[in-house]
Structure 1
Amino acid sequence: MEGLHISNHPLICHKVALLRDIQTEPKKFRELIREIAILLAYEATSDLGLSPVTVTTPMGQADGATLAEKIGLVPILRAGLGMVEGIWEMMPGAEVWHLGVYRDEKTLRPVQYYNKLPVAPTVQVCLVLDPMLATGGSAVACIDILKRWGARRIKFVGIIAAPEGVKTLHEAHPDVPIHMAVLDSNLNEIGYIVPGLGDAGDRQFGTG
């Protein structure tokens, strides 16, 4: 599917199986979300720009590189919060901007309720974070907001996607790469991914 990048890393496959398991309790679920997010972000950021630098080692001079682009992490509340910590450990200089978007259970349409973006963009690359890409409505709404804000380079990073959500996101924003761990079968009649893992927010925060 165009624009979609599915990881086949063995560690991700192993951790996703544990994440899906109905017996996995919230503490372990949060740990797995964090670990999978680290691995996915590693792959999603493989094309970041670099600037050359020379550093002094105990044995002399060495040529190296530093990141040339500033990164913003944009978790879609609330489930996306679980992906921030791990990625932040890898990129401690990343800024974190929160967007609150929930899916109306009757209409399945996104509803924005929180926006903490600054007046103008302060980063060159935005990673939109949400474990589940189901209908795609929340992802599209979030990226709409970021583009109106002035973001020029955006990537979506999630864990489990439905084909319907990928199609919706790609049609609305064909310039946004989609990085996922798994592409599942379909959505059911109430908009949940099958086989999926249930509600990622509820399972993280023990509210299911």
Structure 2
Amino acid sequence: MTETQATEHLTVVDHPLVQHKLTLMRDVECSTKSFRQLLREISHLLAYEVTRNLPMTTVTVNTPLQPMEAPAIKGKKLALVSILRAGNGLLDGILELVPNARVGFVGLYRDPETLQPVEYYYKVPEAMEDRLTIVVDPMLATGNSTVAAVNRLKEGGARNIRFLCLLASPEGVARMKEAHPDVPIVTAALDDHLNDHGYIVPGLGDAGDRMFGTK
């Protein structure tokens, strides 16, 4: 098994630690506390993949022995954008690795009848056109919310966008590829299909409800 399975648009991170933690999260008996902790842990691992190929430069540093030219990330600080509310579970873990990142939020809920996203909040950092923007949401189900969030970010000037999720459906991946073929997706698993209610199958249920202990 390789560490990732990738196409131009989709990368599935099948590292053993990622897959093991995801299996624990899928279990209906996984407690709210454990679910939150596992999501934080798995976000660390997924963050390494979604930040792969960041633009680099060199800076001069003084080691205890001598000066040297050492690699450093180039350009403005990253922008991490959470699709509320469940995206915050991935956001917290990534911020532990990239604590200087700027943070934005897109508040969306899914209309239960139409399955279409309804926006209720939007706040992002300045100079989005100069930042790599990583959008996070645990579930890429119908793809409607993700497409709506990316639409808003592009309207705000973001040009270099990546999307990170825990689970994806084939329908959601296809929807994103159609609407935003320039936005690569990184996920821990590509599941089988969506059910009639727009939930990923076999999935893990509603990530927000399991994270926060709500119904």
1:98 is matched with 105
Q: Check if 1:28 corresponds to 2:18.
A: no
Shift of residue 59 of structure 1? Answer: 1.6
Q: Which amino acid aligns with 1:61?
A: P
Q: Report if the CA contact (8 A) 2:79-2:128 is conserved.
A: no
Partner of 1:76: 83
Which amino acid counterpart does residue 39 of structure 2 have in structure 1? I
- Are 1:154 and 2:151 counterparts? no
The amino acid across from 1:159 in the alignment is L
Task: Give how far 1:120 is off.
Answer: 4.7
Decide whether aligned partners of structure 1 residues 144 and 2 sit closer, same or farther in structure 2, where only a CA change above 3 A counts.
Answer: same
Could you tell me how far apart the structure 1 residues matched to 2:180 and 2:162 are? 10
State the TM-score, normalizing by the size of structure 2: 0.93
- Which residue is 1:163 aligned to? 170
Find out whether 1:6 has 2:16 as its counterpart.
no
Distance 1:195 1:115 in 2: 31
Q: Within 5 A, what are the aligned runs for 1:1-208?
A: 2-69=8-75, 70-118=77-125, 120-121=127-128, 123-208=130-215
Partner of 2:3: none
For 2:144 and 2:48, locate their aligned partners in 1 and report how far apart those are by CA, in whole Å.
Answer: 26
- Which aligned segments of 4 or more residues in structure 1 are displaced greater than 3 angstroms? none
Among the aligned pairs, what percent are the same residue? 52
Amino acid at match of 1:62: M
Q: Which shows bigger deviation, 39-48 or 112-121?
A: 112-121
- What runs of 5+ residues in structure 2 fail to find an aligned partner? 1-6
Unaligned runs of 5+ in 1: none
- Residues 55 and 18 (structure 1 numbering): CA distance in 2 closer, same or farther, change over 3 Å? same
Q: Report the secondary structure of 2:124's partner residue.
A: coil
The answer to whether the 8 A contact 1:4-1:178 is kept is: yes
Amino acid at match of 1:7: V
Offset from partner CA, 1:102-150 (integer Å, 9 cap, x none): 1111110011110112565275111000000000000000000000000
How many pairs does the alignment contain? 208
Residue aligned with 1:98, SS: strand
Q: For residues 184 and 138 of structure 2, what CA distance do their matches in structure 1 show?
A: 15
For residue 8 of structure 1, report the CA deviation from its aligned partner.
Answer: 1.3
Report the CA distance shift for 1:50/1:101 in structure 2 as closer, same or farther (over 3 A). Answer: same
